[in-house]
Chain A
Amino acid sequence: MKIFRDTILLFRRKMMETLRNPIYIIMSLLTPVLYLVLFSPLLKNLTNIPGFSSGNVMNVFVPGLLVIVAFLNGLFVGYNMIDEVRNGVIERFRVTPTSRFALLAGRVLRDLVNTLVIVNFFAVIAIPFGFKIHIVGYLLLLVILSLVLITTSSFGNALGLILKDEDRLSPIVQGINLPILLLSGMLLPMELAPKWLQYIAHINPAYYAVEAGRLLASGHILETKVGIAFLFLGALCAITVTWATRVFGKAVA
């Protein structure tokens, strides 16, 4: 079917772009190494603090970081989008009978593959630092991360297409980035926060991803929080993808 073929064709185009950019690959893989080497030693003495009581500090810390990786890998793709809009690439595709959904999906799929490579690399090198992988829980965690990435990448791409200018994109993306990161408990669990902050965190999709991620990483699969996270993130992902596809269909690129 044309929609699948177009998606694969456009995915291959973006994937080649990644593979031809060794600096990007090296920097992406270096980030987890830096977190593990330069930040994880600080966590050694946190075992008696709320949120870390499960016993394994790394199984609290690593899932949070994996959500950060997925979140940021998608959110900032708008810059690349703007570059292609400016060079007429998107307009050229829009004058061909290419599926509008594929224009979005090809890009998101590339971001997804990149992110899954980084995430798995991160998880594996975290093992010597004390991260324990529970296979089923970990696989479900990958699904959570994929939902986060698909949502942020679709959003980031559509935003780039609408704004068409880095100076307009920057404040919006940065403005979204910081509160969502701070209120997700990615770096420190939200159990440490005062009650009012915990209430606000409940409207933050990334908070559910992080909470469910931690449970899944420790092998707690049949938890209400996990179910809520799947529902919430799944719905948000579906809404964002639908909206972004419409933006690709009608935007004046």
Chain B
Amino acid sequence: MNIFFLPKELLHMDSQVVVIENLKKYFHTKRGPVKAVDGVNLRVGAGEIFGFLGPNGAGKTTTLRILTTLLVPDSGDARIAGFDVKKHPDQVRLHIGYVSQAGGADRPATGLENLILQGQLYGMTTPTARARAQELIRLLDLSEFADRIVYTYSGGQRRRLDVALGLMNRPTILFLDEPTTGLDPQNRANLWTQIQKLRQEGTTIFLTTHYLDEADTLCDHIAIMDDGHIVAEGIPADLKKQVAGDCITIGMEHPAEKAPQLISLLRKADFMREVKLDDNHMRLYVTDGAQAISEVLRLFAQEGVPMENITLSAPSLDDVFLRQTGHSLRDINAQGVNV
């Protein structure tokens, strides 16, 4: 980025690439207003991979669309690289790259043609655009198929081209909206490697996901969004520490009704931190999982309560989510709710 284009306020912002203050966006539907984004505050530092986590319909994509100038917020402020998205959308556009869920590559054209046109639309001359395209073809390993028509690409190849398109203008920050949705595990892992490579090259990355493992492995910093609000924010490891100890998950139907006696016994156990129940699971947050699990098994046997399965795990981001919102992210995603 050229330092001469920086506005004064940015120089006092100690390298915050994204600053969001009390952002609101309501959609007006026949059933009344939907508070898609309801008072969001966020900061994303330069050079980090920021993960924006939440179920479908939480407001992640709406927030992203405001940051990428596709939507105008009702109120609040959002600045990207120091530029206000409402007042200076053109400046914001020069500094961002955006890869939407749909991708955006033009299918009847070749990958190389797509890249060159993208550069030209940012005002590059054709030779400059071509040189930049070649750089990205190397960086993202596109050379094998860059001269083929995009119609012939596999899902993973298309994703890599989509990411390359988002990088043509050397953005300060790259927005990725659910980048690995629909990819097979191998292509997911491959894309993760590419994203980490981009961070090493100094690009700030802002990605949305509803995959917890993705946020966990990839992101330096995460925010969890639910129902238009940020419910938790921080470094994944710190967030997980908030959820005490380990988690024992027991699969069984309607534990609250079937085993009230057992539950009151479990609550009294000295290793127990917290008991959470839903229709299909009993989740026990315990101080020392390995020791607790034998005691839990003993109590189940003593009370004669059958279980379908039992797993012991270190706390995951799902546990953080569950703790903050009262519902499990996995369950919501399994329902496939899409608002």
Interface of A with B (CB < 8 Å)? 2, 5-6, 9, 13, 16-17, 20-21, 84, 86-89, 91-98, 252-253
Contacts and interface: CB of A to CB of B under 8 A. Distances in A.
B164 to A, nearest CB: 12
A20 B109 CA distance: 9
Given A9-B121, A97-B94, A89 B106 contact: yes
B187 interface: no
Interface stretch (B95-103, B266-274, B305-313): B95-103
B70 A94 contact: yes
B298 interface: no
A91 B165 CA distance: 12
Contacts of B71: 252
Nearest to A9: B120
Given A16-B109, A98-B121, A92 B98 contact: yes
Interface residues of B, number: 31
9 contacts: A6-B121, A13-B106, A20-B108, A88-B103, A89-B104, A91-B104, A95-B69, A96-B118, A253-B70
Contacts of B113: 13, 16
A88 B101 contact: yes
For chain A, what secondary structure do more than half of its interface residues adopt (helix, strand, loop), or is it mixed? Answer: helix
A87 B107 contact: yes
A97 B117 contact: no
A91 B108 contact: no
Given A97-B90, A252-B70, A88 B100 contact: yes
A93 B96 CA distance: 13
Given A13-B109, A20-B108, A252-B70, A97 B103 contact: no
Contact of A95 (B70, B105, B108): B70
A237 to B, nearest CB: 26
A128 to B, nearest CB: 36
A50 B155 CA distance: 61
A36 to B, nearest CB: 31
Q: Across chains A and B, which 8 residue pairs bring their CB atoms closest together, nearest first?
A: A88-B102, A92-B104, A88-B104, A17-B108, A95-B98, A88-B100, A98-B121, A96-B121
Nearest to A99: B121
B102 A97 contact: no
Interface in B164-212: 165, 169
Interface string B20-55: 000000000000000000000000000000000000
Contacts of B165: 92
Given A17-B108, A89-B105, A95-B68, 10 more contacts: A6-B121, A13-B117, A17-B106, A17-B109, A88-B102, A91-B98, A95-B69, A97-B122, A252-B65, A252-B70
Interface in B56-101: 65, 68-71, 90, 93-94, 96, 98, 100-101
